Structure 1
Amino acid sequence: MPLKIDVFCHFFPPRYWQAMLEQAAGSAYMQKRVRGIAALHDLDERFRLMEPHEDYVQVLSLPGPPIEAFSSPDKAPELARIGNEGMAELVDRYPDRFVGFIAGLPMNNPDAAVREAEHAITQLGATGVQIYTNVNGAPLDQDAYLPLFALMAEHDLPIWVHPSREPDVPDYRTEERSKYDIWWAFGWPYETSVFMARMVFWGLFDRFPNIKIITHHMGGMVPYFEGRVGYGLDSLGRRTDEAEDLEARERLQGRPYDYFRRFYADTALFGALPATECGLAFFGTERVLFATDFPFDPQGGALFIGETVRVVENMTASAEDKQAIFEGNARRLLRLRLPD
């Protein structure tokens, strides 16, 4: 039976949890959701939910909201340090449960984000960093963030990308908010897809050929829209008169489609078998990693571990492919503290 390495699940270390509650008092974004899930901050509850699942371990990351969504540029670096130290302590204390952690970064302070990434990797043992699809609404294809991508390429460790879109981003220009959780259900996959496209046309993969970016929720909308990111984006520059679009397409060394397939993706799709198989067909076995989004499910963490395991075990793939998804790819890509 393969070890199941959950590469994208979330926890608030105690000191970070308290600091976040103090700083985020005036922020509503995701606060109602995270405060209502005990396994996000209660270790006893978390272990109770993990216990029934054999050969199951987690790689920790900070949950949303993003640090920059509620903390100022001068305070965010300290908060990120508190969170990363807390996750490192948990990995040290519970090696049979937590085999690594992903560093949180103060992305509203790009210079501090680079310093924190370097510290977390070299001093705390982080196996990569987590960023969001935007920084308080601003895109990441900006020169200010190039040093961070360069650092991660130098360390040859992944960047985990989590979607972020707030309810106050309306779905129609005539309205003031997104209704009925549309900002989350459809907005987050859209955000992931937009982030991927902006990285592709920014030329990120030409700049850093070995860069490794793990997209949450199986790459958002991209696998389903394979034809549009393929033949559709081959025609970039023919639908508008914007010179910027045509220049972006012409400076790429390959087809946009080929760059989209260089992202990695996880299986955190809430137990959706057809969607998982679609993503596997697009990215290929070597670029798909097991993840559950624990504990963000309707049962506070009790549901999606088993559902995601069931999906991987039942999808159309060889035993070798399933082994790679459950553990092989994580062992190859990540610096984990695995039991002997």
Structure 2
Amino acid sequence: MITVDVHAHVLLPEIERAVAGRPGHDAHRELDARRNGPHATAVSGAMIGERIGLLTRAGDRLAAMDAAGVDVQVVSPSPSHYHYWADPGLAAEVCRLAAAGVAAHVAQAPDRLSGLGLVPLQHPSLMTGALDDALAHGLRGVQISSHAPGRELSDPAYEPFWARAAATGAVVFLHPFGCTLDERLDRWYLSNLVGQPVENAVALSHVIFSGVLDRHPRLKLLAAHGGGYLPYYLGRADHGWRVRPDARGCAREPSSYLRDLHFDSLTHDPAALRELVRVAGPERVLLGSDFPFDMGDPDPLAALRAAGLADTPISGGNAVRLFDLKDPS
């Protein structure tokens, strides 16, 4: 059975060179530093330095995949490349560089690697063009964060993008970066440990309650980190939808939409993974590792075994269907 890791990242130095020194870049870096705190910022910098080969060299990546028993990776840009502060011209350039850079990385092992590009969430009018460019480079879709400054994923301005993604069959990979709880999470790496699952839950709630999935039932939306906190507190969402008329933005109970979404398996807990499979359905969960970051899982297949989910389509079959992949054998 083919094994496919749908949550893996590549670092693209050409993007960071393009944004360096541009108006807004320093403020963006200062905000990121405040949100994470000095200790986490230092630890993260050292961690990335130690893993730079895995993030940039296809040979190192393939060796690690072989060691983990992974046949195929779907590679997406490091979320640090979003740069949602950028003006329209720079934002378009970031997305062009992302599509070209990921495509070049994938081309080094096209039987083992597939890829995703970026779209500029801060400029909705540019998103369909960036999506089309990613697809023209042979990529399978795009990666987005949980929000852009002043815009949630429920924003009507995103409707053309959702429609285009659904029409083309492109996968939209929801992967948060940063958390708007800001300095409340600036110690003990809470910006990631707590902030990322919060951002997943908030973003998915905006998508569900606003009716995006009602209007675009063919949309292929894949959520990182097992969907964050959302899958584990659905009763409250359903209750609110039933008793509050102002919560009726979607056509049916919110919990039912989990079977219209897709999730990676990166929950770090066998019981949580089993619960995700229960509420979303086994055909909606895909193997994901967050390769090669320290918050990832270097042995994602072991996590499936620990949850009693080995030898299921979660290990690869669901990804083959969602991304329309070919078996490298």
Tell me which interval the TM-score lies in, with the shorter structure as reference length. Answer: 0.7 to 0.9
The letter of the residue matching 2:120 is P
CA shift, 1:17, in A, is 5.0
Provide the rounded CA distance (Å) in 2 between the counterparts of 1:72 and 1:134: 16
Distance 1:21 1:201 in 2: 38
Q: Percent identity?
A: 27
State the match for 1:19 in structure 2.
18
Q: Judge conservation of contact 2:103–2:138 (CA < 8 Å) in 1.
A: yes
Once superposed, what is the RMSD of the aligned Cα atoms? 2.5
Match of 1:53 in 2: 68
Gap runs ≥5 in structure 1: 172-176, 238-245
* Residue of structure 2 equivalent to 1:10: 9
2:211 is equivalent to residue 198 of structure 1: no
Q: Is the 8 A contact 2:58 2:109 kept in 1?
A: no
Which of residues 285, 288, 307 is equivalent to 1:291? 288
Q: Which runs of 5+ in 2 are unaligned?
A: 34-40
How many correspondences in the alignment?
313
DSSP-derived class of the 1:149 partner? helix
How far the C-alpha of 1:119 sits from its partner, in A, is 1.9
Match of 1:328 among 309, 317, 324: 317
TM-score, normalised to structure 1, is 0.83
Deviations 1:35-68 (A, max 9, x none): 4331223445434433423343211101122523
Query: Alignment partner of 1:8: what SS?
Result: strand
Q: Which residue of the partner structure matches residue 223 of structure 1?
A: 231
Task: Show structure 1 runs of 4+ deviating over 6 A.
Answer: none
Q: Residue 13 of structure 1: CA displacement? A: 3.5
Q: Could you say which structure has the higher helix fraction?
A: 2
Give the secondary-structure state (helix, strand or coil) at the position aligned to 1:294: coil
Which whole-Å deviations, capped at 9, do the CAs of 1:160-186 have from their partners, x for residues lacking one? 101233477243xxxxx6433222211
CA gap of 1:256–1:187, structure 2 versus 1, over 3 A, is same
Q: What amino acid is aligned across from residue 58 of structure 1 in structure 2?
A: Q
Give the Cα separation in 1 of the matches to 2:18 and 2:105.
Answer: 17
Pick from 198, 211, 222 the counterpart of residue 219 of structure 2.
211
Letter in 2 for 1:72: D
Q: Deviations over 1:183-230 (max 9, x none)?
A: 221121111111111111211111112212111111111122132233
Using a 3 Å threshold, how does the CA distance of structure 1 residues 274 and 338 change in structure 2: closer, same or farther? same
User: Which residue of the partner structure matches residue 311 of structure 1?
Assistant: 303
Distance 1:268 1:17, change over 3 A: farther
1: CA distance between counterparts of 2:84 and 2:213? Answer: 28
**Is the aligned partner of 1:115 residue 2:114?**
no
C-alpha separation in 1, matches of 2:17 and 2:325: 28
Q: CA deviation at 1:4?
A: 1.6
